[in-house]
Amino acid sequence: MNIWNRLQRYESENGAAPIAIIGAGYVAGGVVSMLAQTPGVRPAIIINRTVEKAVQAFIDVGYSESDIVVSDDASVLANAIDSGKPAVTQHYAVIKDLPVRALVEATGAMDYGTEAILYTLEQGIHVVSYNAEVDALLGWLFHDKARLHNVVYTIADGDQPGAIFRLKQQVEAMGFEVDTLLNCKRYMDTSQTPSSGAGFASRDATSNIMTTAFGDGTKMQVEQAVVANATGIEPSILGMHGIKSTQENILRDCAAKLPKGKQVDYTLGGDFGAGVAVIAHHPNGVSHKKALSLYKMGNGPDYFFFRPFHLVHLELPATMAQVLLDNEPLVSVDQPHVAEVIAMAKKDLSSGEKLDCIGGYTAYGLIESTRRSSEYLPVGLVEFATVTAGIAANAPISLDNVKLDHSRAVVKEWMQMRSSWSKAANIQMKAASGTE
């Protein structure tokens, strides 16, 4: 039975599951629209610090403004949800008293997103996240917290990591072993700023910050860190290689430019559009070689599998079905991270300068193996950092050259998570050497 039919059956037996959405921006608006159209679920409440934007998100998908209940009172909101009325609130803390099955995180915010995700999981409520930035930084912690409270935390289908995972699962279901996981990037300029990229933002009707994070490559680097940490497959070099190629020549060009072994990387330009891809080999390739050649896959031993799209919120039903019906995440992070996205100076930085944010004027991000990244500032923490010593443009930003705001939840959680990994590694080393 396909996903849509399974969700229809679920609704006929249980009613539509009420879902909370946090955020009211571009992605969140699409999420609200898709949940309103999908059987088995309904957008029950939007949590957003600007109430007017949340109300407008409901109106944009056809709800009457007079039916929308705006309140910070949990009992009022719960009654609205139970009666099928759309609800809006400013505060995520009320979620503990609301009859919702899951929260879809669509803010893209680092500190606020961290607080909301952890709090929701602690209340025994599933979390589906489009916040790749915070997942790249704290994904292991979120999965660990979800397991502790017997709920699901997962990234969503539709963004590039989700699309890569689905493609990987499909390829592995045919017996292939995946070696390279590719994000397809059309354009990248690490020096792009909100000012220089304003034309792109206007064209695409997205915020300057979001558009800059796309253009300077940070978003793609973050997405590949999400993929790396969930698969245990790390980048081979800082920032990856970025293969300039075409679909026809990609196997040849990857073989020439990438080292042997498993890795995450990306294509740049070419005819890949906004797709994702994997390169894989088959352990029984000799027995399948003739068939694969006949099916226009080439002569092996490596084969290129390409998915030409990722459709963000339109693909959300697959995630909702997996979470609500199967109680499973799209993918799980069960081990310490293997990749971090480190902050690189976008310009010369001076002591005392406050860094701005992902998609800003001061820094961009490049993925690196955690075996080589421990001394550097993660790009997810740039907005909570102040420079303490001069840093040249395009140099990595060292943790020794910034002061972090330790009052922020995301900073505290990252430091505690990293400390716990270090302690666990030390215990393992002692156990292996027989000293404990």
The answer to whether 149 touches 120, Cβ cutoff 8 Å, is: no
Q: How far apart are CA 88 and CA 107, in angstroms?
A: 15
- In a domain, residue 241? The reply is yes
pTM: 0.96
DSSP state of 355: P
- Of 405, 409, 389, 407, the C-alpha closest to 397 is 389
Q: Both 281 and 295 in a single domain?
A: yes
Q: Both 7 and 149 in a single domain?
A: yes
The residues pairing with 276 across neighbouring beta strands, listed in sequence order, are 183, 307
Per-residue pLDDT of the chain (436 residues; tens, 9 = 90+): 799 999 999 999 999 999 999 999 999 999 999 999 999 999 999 999 999 999 999 999 999 999 999 999 999 999 999 999 999 999 999 999 999 999 999 999 999 999 999 999 999 999 999 999 999 999 999 999 999 999 999 999 999 999 999 999 999 999 999 999 999 999 999 999 999 999 988 898 888 999 999 999 999 999 999 999 999 999 999 999 999 999 999 999 999 999 999 999 999 999 999 999 999 999 999 999 999 999 999 999 999 999 999 999 999 999 999 999 999 999 999 999 999 999 999 999 999 999 999 999 999 999 999 999 999 999 999 999 999 999 999 999 999 999 999 999 999 999 999 999 987 766 665 656 666 5
- In a domain, residue 334? The reply is no
Q: Both 152 and 7 in a single domain?
A: yes
Q: Both 133 and 10 in a single domain?
A: yes
Q: How far apart are CA 153 and CA 145, in angstroms?
A: 8
Place of tokens 């039975």: 1
- In a domain, residue 333? The reply is no
**CA separation (Å) from 195 to 198, 207, 219, 360, 385?**
5, 11, 18, 9, 22
Q: Both 200 and 142 in a single domain?
A: no
Q: How many CB atoms lie within 10 A of CB 313?
A: 23
Q: Both 173 and 135 in a single domain?
A: no
- Of 413, 312, 323, the C-alpha closest to 125 is 323
Q: How far apart are CA 379 and CA 218, in angstroms?
A: 8
Q: How far apart are CA 165 and CA 301, in angstroms?
A: 22
Which H helix or E strand runs over 184? strand 177-185
Cβ within 8 Å of residue 133, ≥6 positions away: 108, 110, 113, 219, 222, 358, 380
Q: How far apart are CA 432 and CA 88, in angstroms?
A: 54
Q: How many domains does the chain have?
A: 3
Query: 3-class SS at 32?
Result: helix
Range of the domain at 223: 160-310
Angle (deg, nearest 10), helices 51-60 and 26-37: 40
Q: Both 319 and 243 in a single domain?
A: no
